[in-house]
Structure 1
Amino acid sequence: MPLIAFERENAREGGSPWKLKSWQTIIKDKDHGWTPLLWVVYLGFFFIDPVMSHTSLRIWLLDLAGATVFLFLYFGLFALESPRTAIHIGGMVLLGMLFLPINGGACTFFIFASAMLPFSISKQTSAFLGLAIVAIVGAIEGLLLHLNGWTLFYAAVFPMIIGAGNTVFAERNRMNRKLRKANEEIEHLAKVAERERIARDLHDVLGHTLSVITLKSELAGKLMDRDPQRAAQEIHEVEEISRQALSDVRDAIRGYRSQGLLAELARAKSTLETAGVTVECDAAASVNIP
């Protein structure tokens, strides 16, 4: 049975069949949103027969009780975290079987069951098998009750048509969910990559800056006795480099802003010259490297 197979699938996923979703989660669902409140309007067809036939109070009370049970089954499909399809869809079919002998409008329950089935079962083959079962149940009961042609049509044929049409929309919803999930994964990976890139950038900025500060500090220490003026200049440059490093870190946090090859060459040139290495760069012929 397709419904039983889907129950097993839900059990493997570990979903709780009686855990309610929050109201905001239900109305903000990107697949259905508010539409379940609109679809339930079709339940009104269930009351056409008792209105037209001026049925007794007893039948009215039974019809109201049946409609109440249906509403619990119907909204449970949307309000529960992991609704049990066999209970909700099967319950609608059972309501149709119980009420069809006293109310021809009970065909509505067969129609709702077929309409919801494609959205509740992920495999189209299982969904069509479930639709066929609903149609057969409606046809057999209609024939046993000797219902007229139109009532038999709405009990067996029309539910199959509605259900078959909804398989297209159900498949579209599933594809949209997969697409949203893929987009969310891409966004997550992009954020992870961005964080890693900023971390690497911070490492590069601080690593280079600390190397320069270390060299200049060592040089200032050596010049302290021999050339105090030069040592003071080196210490002043250490202060400037520290401020620049702080600015670079802030820029990296806001987002990487490449300063280009010339800026990197200038930093390398400054570091090497601080260490006493004479630097010649071919780029200096066309551009001015500080």
Structure 2
Amino acid sequence: MRWTQLLYLLYLAFLFIQPAISHAGQKEWAEDVASAAIFIVLYLVYLWNSGPIGLLCVIGMAALGFFYWPFNSGASAFFIYAAALFGFLFRPKLAFASLGILLTGMAIESWFLHAIVWYWVPAMIMTLAIGAINIHAGAEKRANAKLRLAQEEIEHLAKVAERERIARDMHDVLGHTLSVIVLKSELASRLLDHDTARAHKEISEVEQIARQALAEVRHAIGGYRTGSLAEEFARARSILGTAGIQAELETREPRTGSHTLSPAQETVLALVVREAVTNVVRHSAAAKCCISFESGADRYRLEIYDDGRGSGDYEGNGLRGMRERVQALDGTITRDGSRGTRLTVIIPVRHRQEAIAWA
């Protein structure tokens, strides 16, 4: 339970407006205080129990509304509370069905009471509005929770795969080399007493092999520090799909070699894709996201577009961080948030020789 959820109890003040205005007697005040106390108990029990007990509490809130509404128009707050909680108890279809049943019950009670329009229409409008808003919020909360679980699973699998890759690489890089070093060292030790020249030769070869192994280890570690753009594209497709967003990727897998992104460039572009896709999932409410990567004669161009609600001119910390990384490579990053959001990154291909030097 979050303590901020207790602040919603302040809306119970509406229950006491009518008795205050009409100068109600002690009996009416006692009834209103009793109904508020019963509601607070139901609400607190609901906060601690989200299962069947929580559902019974919400039904109890609605029942309080039906019982007290004929005597106090402020009791419509009980209906609004119940409607607000449907979205967090049920999936959208069932939540809307429950909201419809509640509104139907309110309409029937108003008809039996011959209530005037200004008495029941505002209450039903507020119940419908708050209920619909919270049904959407509840669906979004469940989607975000599902997305977080998917991200955690992907990250866990990625870490496992990376550990296995490191183990394989270390075995491939050092396994044979260390075996040779051990054999040659043992041979040099045996030769020291009767063939010093050959022993020195073996020791010299051990030194060369060790230096070569050190270079291979450094090269392997350099590869671990580089973010893979291809892996980030695959991760983006998976996360977007989990969030219910159609993903379209137009790209060729970058490779190391003459036609290359430098490790620094690939890492920066991978981070841009990760940050942009995270923003799409969290904030855009998009149905579709397109990611394209082009390698031209003199530049690399990465574009990420979503058809969501757009982001205006606001530039958050994530975008500022992306901009700094891209500018460090003499690149540019532009964003158009007027119709959806389009993020375009251009990096010059002047680091190709740098990439060869890294290798």
Query: If the TM-score is normalised by the length of the shorter chain, which range does it land in?
Result: 0.5 to 0.7
The residue correspondences of 1:212-223 to structure 2 (distance < 5 A) are 212-221=180-189, 223=191
Q: How does 1:195-234 map to 2 (within 5 A)?
A: 195-221=163-189, 223-232=191-200, 234=202
Task: Please give the secondary structure, in 2, of the residue aligned with 1:147.
Answer: coil
Task: Write 1 or 2 for the structure with the bigger share of helix.
Answer: 1
What's the counterpart of residue 152 of structure 2? 184
**What is the TM-score normalised by the length of structure 2?**
0.53
For 2:187 and 2:28, the matched residues in 1 are separated by: 102
Deviations 1:52-80 (A, max 9, x none): 12222333233223223323333444444
Q: Distance in 1 between matches of 2:23 and 2:58?
A: 30
Q: Kindly tell me: are residues 241 and 142 of structure 1, through their superposed partners in 2, closer, same or farther at Cα, counting changes over 3 Å?
A: same
Indicate yes or no: 2:59 matched with 1:90: yes
Q: Which has the larger radius of gyration?
A: 1
User: Which aligned pairs between 1:1-290 and structure 2 lie closer than 5 A?
Assistant: 26=2, 34=4, 36-80=5-49, 82=51, 84-122=53-91, 124-221=92-189, 223-232=191-200, 234-235=202-203, 238=206, 256=224
1:34-93 superposed Cα distances (whole Å, 9 cap, x missing partner)? 4x3453332221111121122223332332232233233334444446463421220110
Q: With structure 1 as the length reference, what TM-score do the two structures score?
A: 0.64
* Of 104-113 and 197-206, the range deviating more from structure 2: 197-206
1:81 & 1:171 partners in 2: Cα distance? 15
> What is the CA–CA distance in structure 1 between the aligned matches of 2:50 and 2:101, rounded to whole Å?
26
Residue 65 and residue 242 in structure 1: after superposition, are their counterparts in 2 closer, same or farther (change >3 A)?
farther
The question of whether the paired residues in 2 share the 8 Å contact of 1:139 and 1:155 is answered with no
Between the aligned partners of 2:110 and 2:199, the Cα distance in structure 1 is: 104
Alpha-carbon offset, residue 140 of structure 1:
2.3
The answer on whether the counterparts of 1:49 and 1:105 sit within 8 Å (CA) in structure 2 is: yes
Counting matched residue pairs gives: 228
Task: Report SS of the residue matched to 1:84.
Answer: helix
Relative to 1, partners in 2 of residues 1:88 and 1:216: Cα closer, same or farther, differing over 3 Å? same
Q: Matched residues in 2 for 1:183 and 1:177: separation?
A: 10
Counterpart CA distance in 1 for 2:213 and 2:36 is 72
AA of the residue aligned to 1:70: F
Q: CA deviation at 1:130?
A: 0.4
Question: What percentage of aligned pairs have identical amino acids?
Answer: 48
Cα deviation code 1:179-218 (max 9, x no counterpart): 2222222222222222222222222233123222233134
Give the letter aligned to residue 136 of structure 1: T
SS class of match (2:224): coil
1:138 alignment partner, SS class = helix
1:9 match:
none
Aligned partners of 1:198 and 1:255 also within 8 Å: no
Unaligned runs of 5+ in 2: 227-255, 258-359
Instruction: Give the drift of 1:97.
Output: 1.8
Residues of 1 paired with 2:37 and 2:216: CA distance?
Answer: 66
Quick one: which amino acid aligns to residue 79 of structure 2? F
Considering Cα pairs closer than 8 Å and 6+ residues apart, tell me whether 1 or 2 has the greater RCO.
1
Paired residue type of 2:43: Y
Backbone CA RMSD of aligned residues: 3.5
Per the alignment, do residues 115 and 240 of structure 1 end up closer, same or farther by CA in structure 2, a change over 3 Å counting? same
Distance 1:62 1:203, change over 3 A: farther
- Name the one with the larger strand percent: 2
Inter-partner Cα distance in structure 2 for 1:199 and 1:54: 80
Q: Aligned-pair distance for 1:141?
A: 2.3
CA contact (8 A) 1:135 1:155 kept: no
